[in-house]
Amino acid sequence: MLRRLRGIKAVLFDIDDTLFDTATLAKMSRVNAVKAMMESGLPIRNVQKGYRLLLKIVEKYGANYDQHFDRLLEALGYTRDPKIIAAGIVAYHDTKLAYLKPDPDVIPTLIALRDKDCKIGIVSNGRSVKQWEKIIRLGLQHFFHTVVISEEVGFEKPDPKIFELALKELGVKPEEAVYVGDSSEVDVLGANAARLVSVRLVKRKRKEPRFDKSMRPKVTIRKVSELLSLLKIA
């Protein structure tokens, strides 16, 4: 049975793999990009080989790097081909738009929180425009009283300062706020350090580091809508 929480005035959320399935979006977008590049002349026969090589490039240069496909051609020993690169870009973005949907229970949960006058916010790492694009394409931008993104403020989770800034903007104390995220080493660790009530969403599988007390969530849930029972809203 979920332990109910009292005196909560605000709920803050992570974005990726919390409000929507980022992992599946990223995988399918990259796989389809490789397929489209092959159809346009990328000289490999195995999609999975290309996908694995692309993952290594993403790991090396970071997810926000904008020339992954250029480096893929380079890694295969071929010169830059604008047609092949463009095919990958188009397939990537078309797939991304198809998968960029909120989890089914997210909007009903946000509506229920809003109707109970609970303040709602986001605390997210990443580039501001990229994270805002996700929020807007998810159709969630009108729900939040504050959105704090690491690029804008100069520090990122698990630094407690990013949470403290969100609390200040909402005018609530740490013990009056819940933070919901999927990562123990980033979301839970940071929320605990900032003295918020940490809630870990374990709906999706992810690799986790060796556990210690600082990464132990106050509550664990399997879907976002379980927050409503925790807060005695449903």
Q: Are the C-beta atoms of residues 131 and 82 closer than 8 Å to each other?
A: no
By residue range, what is the domain housing residue 87?
23-99
- Distance CA(213)–CA(95), nearest Å, equals 39
Same domain membership, residue 118 and residue 77: no
In sequence order, which residues have a C-beta less than 8 Å from that of residue 108 and are 6 or more positions away? Answer: 225
Same domain membership, residue 187 and residue 114: yes
- Distance CA(50)–CA(27), nearest Å, equals 12
Using CA atoms, how far residue 45 sits from 50, 77, 78, 87, in Å, is 9, 15, 15, 16
Residue that terminates a domain, selected from 78, 99, 120: 99
Instruction: Please tell me whether residue 143 adopts helix, strand or coil conformation.
Output: coil
Q: What is the CATH number of the domain that holds 183?
A: 3.40.50.1000
Question: Structure pTM?
Answer: 0.90
Same domain membership, residue 89 and residue 29: yes
H helix intervals, 144-205? 150-153, 160-170, 189-193
Same domain membership, residue 191 and residue 81: no
Q: How many domains does the chain have?
A: 2
Q: Are the C-beta atoms of residues 190 and 167 closer than 8 Å to each other?
A: no
Exposed/middle/buried for 224, CB within 10 Å: 0-12, 13-18, 19+? buried
Check residue 1 and give its pLDDT.
40
Residues 41-98: tens digit of each pLDDT: 998 989 999 999 999 999 999 988 999 999 999 999 888 899 999 999 999 999 999 9
Residues 102-144: tens digit of each pLDDT: 999 999 999 999 999 999 999 999 999 999 999 999 999 999 9
Tokens standing for residue 139? 């159709």
Same domain membership, residue 195 and residue 226: yes
Same domain membership, residue 31 and residue 82: yes
Give bridge partners of residue 121 from the DSSP assignment: 12, 146
Residue type, 83: K
Residue type, 2: L
Same domain membership, residue 133 and residue 37: no
- For residue 204, is it within any domain? yes
Residue that terminates a domain, selected from 99, 116, 147: 99
Residue that terminates a domain, selected from 99, 123, 157: 99
